[in-house]
């Protein structure tokens, strides 16, 4: 996204308020025993290019969770850090990790998780707090003497931990929020939070959930979309060239099912025991032409365009869970297939870890086109509520973002067309000008040849990273101790 993605300065005065005043306002807390406690799921959307990832970090005040926690505390929907633990939570928070020992052993989380050291510390504090809440009542200290020092709100859980640059439309967090006293209806949580959140972070919907609901472990599947144009710029020939979408679809189809994805991820040595994951859907979809869905008012339920004129595509991929950087690795390989520098069989070859036990060295795909599109839950547990006071301003805000970025993209295309015509002659200008609107004109004799760069060494011929076993053998110090602790926790929760 360009800077226009931030759009109009919604709630600008609140967002610019000095940090010290936000903190002081949360310190003057209310008498929470006078308010009901609601178990709530929030559907969170954000532009990843504007933030340092989703997960809370000690070293950054620009993560999505940092802004969300500040907003929650400013509105007094959750208690400030250091407050006594609410005794009502001690009997309702249930550790859902025990329902699936495999989840704990695998360390499964979102495939683009920010594995920074500061985040590990924060997650460790959260897990320790949950362990305390899950203990027997006889061993728990009185609430007034056990302040909650965790940076996370009570009962907090996230579904997907997206890395820096990755956006979300349908991420989900669950937590316990205060209601209105006196039997009044619950607050309009989305509208309240959106008034104080920065414009690049929005709550699109909310839902009551059962006390045992956990945004991470109650999730049935996660869906991502990686957006990319159907043409790419060939620097060697100074022209736009079409990707071979049929070959990309064939390569993506080999991802379906359960596979060992160690060659399609960045290895997390601390948490992950193995790299087997299951993919339910993997397809290349053509997006509607720019503004087509907005102009017609039709909802994009199927994610496909009504005509072949659109040049924006996406990888639509759905699975139960993903490894660190898994989707960006997959996309990097698929783009090489589309450009003709790899055969589609390279995907199945990399999935065969008996023949390819080590990962070739290759660059990740860019994080900004990646979006956590949806998190699926049991319909009986989650019924999303869309507040008109929140949804309509958000639609206006995103329409403004679309308008500004569309103009910027058109300017870049037209300026490139004119420069190309002046530099290389009028014969090349149509390839740039009409390639966006009419891909067929790009299929000329010279565009049938592969556009290879100096670094286009086939993946299977490249140097290899160390194997998982070799990396484990080289572990030492704090990483080794954390891995041993995680293995012990996994064994303790196994049935």
Residues carrying an active site annotation: 163
Q: For the chain, how many residues are written? A: 495
**How many Å apart are CA 44 and CA 29, to the nearest integer?**
26
Q: Is residue 10 within 8 Å of residue 393, measured between CB atoms?
A: yes
Q: How far is CA 116 from the centre of its chain?
A: 16
Looking at residue 423, the DSSP 8-state letter turns out to be H
118 phi and psi angles, rounded to 5 deg? -65, -35
**How many Å apart are CA 131 and CA 144, to the nearest integer?**
18
The pair of three-digit structure tokens given for residue 42, joined into one six-digit string: 């929030």
**How many Å apart are CA 259 and CA 320, to the nearest integer?**
13
Looking at residue 139, the DSSP 8-state letter turns out to be G
SS3 state of residue 264: helix
Q: Is residue 220 within 8 Å of residue 376, measured between CB atoms?
A: yes
**How many Å apart are CA 272 and CA 483, to the nearest integer?**
9
**How many Å apart are CA 98 and CA 451, to the nearest integer?**
52
Looking at residue 143, the DSSP 8-state letter turns out to be G
Please return the burial class of 153, using the count of CB atoms within 10 Å of its CB with bins 0-12, 13-18 and 19+. Answer: buried
Question: Quick one: CA dihedral 31, 35, 36, 40, positive or negative?
Answer: negative
The pair of three-digit structure tokens given for residue 94, joined into one six-digit string: 């249930």
* Per-state percent for the chain, helix, strand, coil, to nearest 5: 40, 20, 45
Give the pairing type, strands 312-319 and 221-229: antiparallel
The C-alpha R_g of the chain, in whole angstroms, comes to: 25
């Amino acid at each position: 996204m360009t800077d226009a993605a931030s759009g109009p300065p919604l709630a600008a005065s609140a967002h610019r308020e000095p940090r010290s005043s936000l903190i002081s306002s949360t310190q003057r807390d209310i008498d929470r025993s006078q308010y009901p406690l609601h178990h709530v799921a929030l559907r969170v959307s954000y532009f990843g290019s504007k933030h340092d990832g989703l997960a809370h970090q000690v070293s950054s005040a620009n993560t999505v969770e940092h802004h969300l926690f500040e907003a929650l505390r400013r509105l007094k929907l959750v208690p400030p850090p250091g407050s006594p633990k609410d005794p009502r939570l001690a009997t309702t928070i249930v550790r859902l990790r025990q329902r699936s020992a495999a989840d704990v052993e695998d360390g499964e989380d979102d495939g683009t998780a920010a594995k920074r050291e500061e985040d590990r510390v924060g997650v460790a504090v959260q897990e320790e707090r949950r362990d305390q809440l899950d203990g027997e009542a006889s061993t728990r200290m009185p609430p007034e003497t056990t302040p909650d020092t965790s940076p996370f709100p009570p009962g907090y859980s996230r579904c997907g931990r997206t890395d820096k640059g990755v956006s979300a439309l349908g991420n989900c967090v669950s937590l316990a929020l205060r209601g209105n006293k006196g039997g009044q209806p619950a607050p309009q949580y989305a509208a309240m939070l959106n008034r104080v959140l920065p414009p690049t972070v929005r709550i699109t919907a909310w839902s009551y959930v059962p006390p045992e609901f956990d945004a991470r472990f109650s999730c049935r599947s996660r869906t991502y979309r990686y957006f990319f144009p159907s043409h790419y710029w060939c620097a060697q020939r100074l022209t736009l060239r079409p990707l071979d979408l049929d070959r990309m679809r064939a390569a993506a189809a080999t991802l379906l099912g359960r596979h060992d994805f160690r060659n399609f991820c960045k290895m997390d040595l601390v948490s992950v025991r193995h790299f087997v994951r299951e993919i339910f859907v993997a397809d290349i979809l053509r997006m509607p032409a720019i503004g087509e869905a907005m102009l017609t008012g039709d909802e994009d339920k199927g994610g496909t365009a009504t005509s072949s004129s659109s040049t924006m595509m996406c990888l639509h991929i759905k699975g139960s869970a993903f490894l660190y950087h898994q989707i960006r690795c997959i996309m990097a390989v698929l783009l090489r297939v589309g450009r003709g520098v790899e055969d589609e069989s390279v995907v199945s070859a990399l999935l065969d870890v008996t023949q390819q036990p080590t990962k070739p060295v290759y660059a990740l795909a860019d994080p900004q086109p990646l979006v956590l599109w949806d998190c699926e839950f049991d319909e009986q547990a989650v019924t999303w509520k869309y507040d008109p006071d929140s949804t309509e301003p958000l639609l206006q805000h995103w329409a403004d973002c679309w308008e500004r970025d569309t103009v910027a993209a058109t300017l870049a295309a037209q300026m490139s067309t004119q420069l190309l015509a002046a530099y290389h002659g009028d014969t090349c200008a149509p390839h740039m000008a009409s390639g966006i609107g009419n891909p067929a004109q790009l299929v000329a004799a010279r565009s049938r040849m592969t556009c290879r760069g100096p670094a286009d060494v086939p993946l299977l011929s490249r140097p290899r990273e160390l194997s998982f076993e070799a990396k484990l053998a080289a572990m030492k110090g704090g990483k080794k101790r954390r891995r041993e602790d995680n293995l012990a926790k996994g064994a303790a929760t196994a049935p």
